[in-house]
Every structure is written in structure tokens, then in C-alpha cells.
Amino acid sequence: MDRTCLVFHLVVILCLLRTSIARTKTITTDQSALRALKSHVTFDPSDVLSRSWIYQIPVCNWTGVKCSSLHQRVVALNISHLGLQGNIPPQVANLSFLNSIDISGNDFQGNLPEELVHLQRLSYINFSFNKFSGGVPSWLGFLPNLQYLYLANNSFTGILPSSLFNASKLEDMRIPYSQLEGIIAEEIGNLGNLKILDLQDNELMGLYRGPFSIFRRCK
């Protein structure tokens, strides 16, 4: 009986140790991803990241970072309107529990890395009022939980990728004031949950010629 109890207690201790090690590993992964982002910030006028995103402070207490109380993983990142300059590194894709990201109102530039397609939990993206360039990323259409997409006031060029119209949960898409062109693909009719669509002040030519119900749903 005593031996059975001893074995049971050892199993419990081992399970607790494994859970603790796994949690430490995942938190370290999130911390490394955010520190990679910090290292790609070339200008931080208020020193917000310099003062807050440091090893001495738990990552869940960093400015703009929100963690789940259940598993202590980073689920939201909001570093909007801080005047930050730099670019977004692919390591951000390691924030695998992230469901909301807002970096609007900064001065980030360059292309958005395609590795971000691995952020499969994302439902809210706000990259507005930056200087991102290149095409609107096709990988956005492969985020199965995406509901809100804001890319206003950037320097995106080219056409809207047809893959974007696979985001069946999308409710609100705003990409005004950029340099998009071409004809809106008929696949936009696949966005059955879309309520708000804003593409004003681009260089879109031609008209969407499919069913007009998509526009009646939009505000």
C-alpha cells in the first residue's frame, strides 16, 4: 500500500514538473518573439519598449501585452500610437496564442512577413496608419478566425488577393487610402458575414459584377 502511494505521488510530481517546464518554455517563446520585435524597432521616441520590455519584468506585465489567465500565453498585443519606427520580423509568428494585434498609428514599414500566416487564432488585426508596402498579403485569407481587418493609410500596391475572400468570418474590412488597383474579384461574394467594407481612395478600376447582396450587407 505504501509503495503504491509512493509511486502515485511520484507520478503526480513528475506531471507537475512537466507542466511547469512546458509553461516556462512557452512563455520563453513568447518573450523571445516580442524581444525580436523590439530589436527591429529602430526608433522608440518615448522609450516605452526600452523601459518595459526587459527581462526583469514578467512578459505578461510588459506594456501593451495581455496574457491569458488560464495558460499565461500572450493573447493580445497593442502597441498602437507610440511613434515607433522599424519593421515586423518573422519571429512574431511564434506568438501562437495571439488573437488580437494592434500596431496602428506608428511608422512601421516594409513588407509583412508571410510567416504571420501561422497566427491561426488571430481574429483582430489593425495595421492602419503605418508605411507598409508591397501587396496586401495573400496569407490574410488563410486566417480562419479573422473577423476584423484594418490596413488603412499604408502604401500597399497591386490588386486585392482573391485568397482574402476566403476569410469567411470576416465582418469588417477597411483598406482605404492606399494604392490598390484593378478589379475587385467576384469571390468577394463569398464573404457572407461582411458588414463593413471600406476601400475608398485607392486606384481600383472597374466594378464588381457579381451579386450585389454583398454591398447591401455592408454599411
% the chain with pLDDT above 70? 81
Report all structural domains of the chain as residue ranges with CATH numbers, in order of start: 2-217 (3.80.10.10)
In this structure, how many other beta carbons lie within 10 angstroms of the beta carbon of residue 206? Answer: 9
Given a cut of 60, whether residue 211 has pLDDT beyond it is no
Given a cut of 90, whether residue 59 has pLDDT beyond it is yes
d(CA 132, CA 121): 22
pLDDT at residue 28, as a whole number: 86
Q: What residues have CB less than 8 Å from 184, skipping those under 6 apart?
A: 160, 199, 204, 206, 207, 208
Q: What is the pLDDT of residues 156-169, one digit of tens each?
A: 999 999 999 999 99
Q: Which of 20-29, 103-112, 204-213 reaches the highest mean pLDDT?
A: 103-112
* pLDDT tier for residue 16 given thresholds of 50, 70 and 90: very low
d(CA 10, CA 7): 5
pLDDT at residue 8, as a whole number: 46
For 43, list phi and psi in degrees, rounded to 5: -150, 125
pLDDT (average), residues 66-91: 96
Three-state DSSP state, 78:
strand
Q: From residue 48, give the alpha-carbon distance in Å to each of 19, 54, 91, 98.
A: 33, 11, 20, 21
The C-alpha cell 519571429 sits at 91
Given a cut of 80, whether residue 57 has pLDDT beyond it is yes
Longest Cα separation, the chain:
81
Q: In this predicted model, which residue has the larger pLDDT, 60 or 10?
A: 60
Among the ranges given (27-36, 64-73, 192-201, 209-218), the one the predictor scored with the smallest mean pLDDT: 209-218
Mean pLDDT of the chain: 86
Among the ranges given (19-23, 29-33, 165-169, 177-181), the one the predictor scored with the smallest mean pLDDT: 19-23
What is the DSSP secondary structure assignment for residue 34, as one 8-state letter?
H
In this structure, how many other beta carbons lie within 10 angstroms of the beta carbon of residue 89? Answer: 17
Given a cut of 90, whether residue 215 has pLDDT beyond it is no
Pick from 131, 62, 67: nearest CA to 100: 67
Strand 131-135's sheet: what is its strand order? 41-43, 85-86, 107-110, 131-135, 155-158, 179-182, 203-204
